Structure 1
Amino acid sequence: MKTKQLFFCGMTGLALLATSCSSNDEALNGGDGTTSEGKTYAQIAISVANSATTRALTGNTGDEAYGDDAEYTVNDLTVVLADNNDIAVQVITPELKTATDANEADKVVRVTKPFKCTPGSYKVYVLANYRNSQSSLSPIIKGSTDMKTVFSLSDIAKLSTTNNFFMTNVSAPTAQEIKKKATDKEVDDAGNEATGGETNLNLLKVDVERAVSKVTFNQDKLSFDVKEGGNKIATATLEGVSLINLNKKMYLVKHGELAMNQPVAGDWPYPMDPNYDLTSIDEAYITANFEQTRASVFSAPSEAKFYCPENTMAALAQLNGQTTGVVYKVKYTPVDDFYTTLAAANGTDSYSQMFEKVLALGEVKDAAITNTIFTTAEGTDITDGTFYSYNGYVFKSKAGARLYKAIATNTDGEAATVNTAFKNNENDADIQTYTKGYCYYTAWIKHNPTSTVTMEQDKYGVVRNFWYELTVDNIKKLGYSQPTYKDPKDPDDKEEASIQVQVNIKKWRVVKQNLDLE
Structure 2
Amino acid sequence: MVVLNPSTEFKTAANASNAKLSTVNAAIINTDVTSVIGSGKNNFMMTNAKGKLEPTKITDTGGSVDVEDIDLVTYPTAGEAENKPQQLTVDRVAAKVRLFADANYTGNSIDVATVGWALNVTNKKYFPMSERSKTWMETPAAGGRGTCVSPYDIWKFGSYRRDPNFDGQKTSMTDIGVSPYTDNYEFYTQADATITGKWSDATAGPSTGPNASKIPALYCLENTQEEADNYQAYTTHVLLKATIAPTGLTLPNNGGVYNGTTNSDADVDDSGKIISGKDWIKVGSGYYSYGLLIKYIEAELVSKYKSDDSDNFPTSLTTTFNTYLTYLKGKSVAGVDAVALLTKDAFTTQYGSNDSEIEAGAKELADLFKQAGVSTHGADSYGSVSYYKGGDSYYTIMIKHDNDDNNTNNMLGEFGVVRNSVYDITINSIKNPGYPTIPPPDTDKKDEEEEAFLSIEININPWTWYTQGVDL
Q: Please report the TM-score for the alignment, with normalisation by the length of structure 2.
A: 0.60
- Secondary structure of the residue aligned to 2:183 is helix
| Preserved CA contact (<8 Å) 1:378 1:397 | no
Which residue of the partner structure matches residue 233 of structure 1? 109
Aligned residue identity for 1:159: V
The 2-side partners of 1:398 and 1:253 are apart by 58
- Alignment equivalent of 2:281, drawn from 388, 400, 403: 388
Structure 1 position 272 matched with structure 2 position 162? yes
Which residue of the partner structure matches residue 342 of structure 2? 416
Q: Unaligned regions of 5+ residues in structure 1, if any?
A: 1-124, 187-196, 227-231, 346-371, 511-518
Which residue of the partner structure matches residue 445 of structure 1? 399
The 1-side partners of 2:434 and 2:36 are apart by 32
State the Cα distance separating 1:450 from its structure 2 match. 3.7
- Alignment equivalent of 1:287, drawn from 154, 160, 182: 182
| Preserved CA contact (<8 Å) 1:259 1:271 | no
State the Cα distance separating 1:329 from its structure 2 match. 2.4
- Alignment equivalent of 1:157, drawn from 19, 26, 34: 34
State the Cα distance separating 1:484 from its structure 2 match. 4.2
Structure 1 position 139 matched with structure 2 position 13? yes
The 2-side partners of 1:293 and 1:137 are apart by 30
- Alignment equivalent of 1:257, drawn from 128, 133, 137: 133
- Alignment equivalent of 1:506, drawn from 461, 465, 469: 461
Aligned residue identity for 2:427: V
Structure 1 position 318 matched with structure 2 position 237? no
Which residue of the partner structure matches residue 365 of structure 1? none
The 1-side partners of 2:417 and 2:342 are apart by 55
| Preserved CA contact (<8 Å) 2:135 2:402 | no
The 1-side partners of 2:83 and 2:187 are apart by 47
State the Cα distance separating 1:439 from its structure 2 match. 1.4
State the Cα distance separating 1:344 from its structure 2 match. 12
Aligned residue identity for 1:222: A
State the Cα distance separating 1:203 from its structure 2 match. 5.2
State the Cα distance separating 1:461 from its structure 2 match. 0.4
The 2-side partners of 1:139 and 1:391 are apart by 54
The 2-side partners of 1:429 and 1:507 are apart by 40
- Alignment equivalent of 1:432, drawn from 373, 381, 386: 386
Aligned residue identity for 2:280: F
State the Cα distance separating 1:214 from its structure 2 match. 1.1
Query: Using a 3 Å threshold, how does the CA distance of structure 1 residues 313 and 274 change in structure 2: closer, same or farther?
Result: same
The 2-side partners of 1:410 and 1:241 are apart by 34
Residue by residue, what CA displacement relative to the aligned partner does 1:440-490 show, whole Å, maximum 9, x if unpaired?
212111101244412122111000111111111122311112244473432
Taking only the aligned residue pairs, the percentage that are identical comes to 22
State the Cα distance separating 1:433 from its structure 2 match. 2.9
Aligned residue identity for 1:224: Y
The 2-side partners of 1:198 and 1:259 are apart by 42
Query: Using a 3 Å threshold, how does the CA distance of structure 1 residues 399 and 318 change in structure 2: closer, same or farther?
Result: farther
The 2-side partners of 1:298 and 1:256 are apart by 31
The 2-side partners of 1:334 and 1:137 are apart by 53
Query: Using a 3 Å threshold, how does the CA distance of structure 1 residues 198 and 308 change in structure 2: closer, same or farther?
Result: same
- Secondary structure of the residue aligned to 1:217 is strand
Query: Using a 3 Å threshold, how does the CA distance of structure 1 residues 387 and 376 change in structure 2: closer, same or farther?
Result: farther
| Preserved CA contact (<8 Å) 1:215 1:307 | yes
- Alignment equivalent of 1:222, drawn from 103, 106, 115: 103
State the Cα distance separating 1:396 from its structure 2 match. 0.2
- Secondary structure of the residue aligned to 2:181 is helix
| Preserved CA contact (<8 Å) 1:185 1:201 | no
Query: Using a 3 Å threshold, how does the CA distance of structure 1 residues 251 and 344 change in structure 2: closer, same or farther?
Result: same
The 2-side partners of 1:135 and 1:249 are apart by 11
Query: Using a 3 Å threshold, how does the CA distance of structure 1 residues 152 and 137 change in structure 2: closer, same or farther?
Result: farther
Aligned residue identity for 2:240: Y
Structure 1 position 475 matched with structure 2 position 366? no
Which residue of the partner structure matches residue 89 of structure 1? none
- Secondary structure of the residue aligned to 1:490 is coil
Query: Using a 3 Å threshold, how does the CA distance of structure 1 residues 305 and 423 change in structure 2: closer, same or farther?
Result: closer
State the Cα distance separating 1:290 from its structure 2 match. 1.3
- Secondary structure of the residue aligned to 2:459 is strand
Higher share in helix: 2
| Preserved CA contact (<8 Å) 1:184 1:203 | no
The 2-side partners of 1:138 and 1:325 are apart by 30
Residue by residue, what CA displacement relative to the aligned partner does 1:174-194 show, whole Å, maximum 9, x if unpaired?
687566xx55874xxxxxxxx
Which residue of the partner structure matches residue 241 of structure 2? 329
* Higher relative contact order, chain-length normalized (CA < 8 Å, sep 6+): 2
- Alignment equivalent of 2:200, drawn from 283, 293, 298: 298
Q: Unaligned regions of 5+ residues in structure 2, if any?
A: 55-68, 139-143, 149-155, 193-197, 203-210, 269-273, 298-315, 324-338, 344-364, 466-472
- Secondary structure of the residue aligned to 1:506 is strand
| Preserved CA contact (<8 Å) 2:30 2:184 | no
Which residue of the partner structure matches residue 462 of structure 1? 417
Which residue of the partner structure matches residue 32 of structure 1? none
The 2-side partners of 1:206 and 1:435 are apart by 54
Which residue of the partner structure matches residue 213 of structure 1? 95
Query: Using a 3 Å threshold, how does the CA distance of structure 1 residues 146 and 385 change in structure 2: closer, same or farther?
Result: same
| Preserved CA contact (<8 Å) 1:215 1:305 | yes
| Preserved CA contact (<8 Å) 1:248 1:291 | yes
Query: Using a 3 Å threshold, how does the CA distance of structure 1 residues 376 and 489 change in structure 2: closer, same or farther?
Result: farther
The 1-side partners of 2:246 and 2:322 are apart by 28
Residue by residue, what CA displacement relative to the aligned partner does 1:81-126 show, whole Å, maximum 9, x if unpaired?
xxxxxxxxxxxxxxxxxxxxxxxxxxxxxxxxxxxxxxxxxxxx21
Query: Using a 3 Å threshold, how does the CA distance of structure 1 residues 249 and 423 change in structure 2: closer, same or farther?
Result: same
The 1-side partners of 2:248 and 2:112 are apart by 14
State the Cα distance separating 1:157 from its structure 2 match. 1.5
The 1-side partners of 2:3 and 2:291 are apart by 56
State the Cα distance separating 1:253 from its structure 2 match. 0.8
Counterparts of 1:20-39 in structure 2, within 5 Å, are: none
